A = this chain, B = another copy of it.
Amino acid sequence: MNKHCRIDVAQGVMTIWNCNAGQRNALTPEYYAGINAGLERATNDAAIHAVVLAGEGGFFCSGGNLNALKLRRELSMPDRRAKVDELHAIILGIRACPKPVIAAVEGGAAGAGLSLAMACDLIVAGESAKFTLAYVKAGLTPDGGASYALMQAMPRATVARMALLGTPVAAARMYALGAISDLVADDAVLGHARDLALKLGAGPEQAIANIKSLLNAAETSDLESHLIAERDAVCDALGGDEGAEGIAAFLDKRKPVFR
């Protein structure tokens, strides 16, 4: 697609590659353009059922490019904010995408790369991967929603350890805390992420999109309001084609065919 972003589509699975391996896939304007275009296509193209975010060269994403960040000092505050808003639009785009998005974390995810991983619905990591929120070491504070997503996922003391000291956290620890969904051998990360994407791709499109919305809503809702949201969604599903097929297949003891 461009020099820092490549998009593959196979069997309904879109893989968006960060192709900046020489800089451990630090974020670039080219990658932003690519992932934005990819998420937009995934949102609108019925032939795309799931998205995998991956990095070339064995590392997921090391976050901001420090040379680029140095130049941001020279920008006016509105221009500086606009740059960060570009990242944040991607984070919100991953969440808003009706198709599930899977992070395939080889090697590690650091800084805004961790933000990117944590924004995904499923997070697959290799056993030797590390998750690092070391903005503090550069005199900076987190962006990309990492300080929100981690606080939702983990107790405050564990997040504070990561955010105030910048200590890397091993994939096994992230998995023990439930913060990532899948821990696999280092050489199995991409294959496993694709397998999950294929399984999701065989599932019911509307139900999956609605479940994703329910999980998003649960972060700020209360039980009573959420019960209403669940009720409305399941009543729609009960009357829809996917529910009809799913229930019929279950009663017939056969696999449902949703797509």
- A residues apposed to B, CB below 8 Å: 66-67, 69-70, 72-73, 77, 80-81, 84-85, 88, 91-92, 95, 100, 120-123, 135-149, 151-161, 163-165, 176-182, 196, 199-200, 203-204, 207-208, 210-212, 214-215, 218-224, 226-227, 230-235, 237-251, 256, 258
* Number of identical monomers bound together in the oligomeric complex: 3
Known: A67-B251, A239-B80. A139 touches B219 (CB 8 A): no
**Of the residues B163, B200, B212, B243, contact of A215 by C-beta under 8 Å:** B163
A142 contacts which of B67, B158, B234 (Cβ < 8 Å)? B234
Instruction: Please judge, given known A-B contacts A69-B247, A77-B235, A208-B136, whether A214 and B141 are in contact too, CB under 8 Å.
Output: yes
CA distance A118 to B141 in the complex (A): 23
CB neighbours (8 Å) of A238 from chain B are: 69, 72-73, 80, 140
A180 touches B157 (CB 8 A): yes
Chain B residue numbers with a CB within 8 Å of A199 are 165
In the bound complex, CA of A256 to CA of B152 (Å)? 31
The 5 lowest CB-CB distance pairs between A and B, nearest first, are A139-B246, A139-B242, A153-B155, A138-B246, A151-B218
B215 touches A139 (CB 8 A): no
Contact check, A120 vs B157: say whether CB atoms are below 8 A apart.
Answer: yes
A66's partner among B143, B227, B250, B258 (CB-CB below 8 A) is: B250
CA A243 to CA B223, docked complex, whole Å: 31
Residues of B within 8 A of A240 (CB): 139
A91, A176, A221, A231, most chain B CB atoms within 10 A? A231
B139 in contact with A256 (CB, 8 Å): yes
A225 to chain B: closest residue by CB: B148
- A207 contacts B136, CB within 8 Å? yes
Query: Is the CB–CB distance between A246 and B137 below 8 Å?
Result: yes
Inside 8 A of A161's CB, which chain B residues have their CB? 122, 181-182
Q: By the criterion CB–CB under 8 Å, are B237 and A141 in contact?
A: yes
Extra A-B contacts (18), CB below 8 Å, given A142-B234, A145-B223, A163-B215: A70-B248, A70-B251, A73-B239, A73-B243, A138-B247, A139-B247, A140-B207, A140-B238, A140-B243, A142-B230, A147-B214, A148-B221, A149-B156, A151-B219, A154-B155, A155-B177, A160-B181, A165-B199
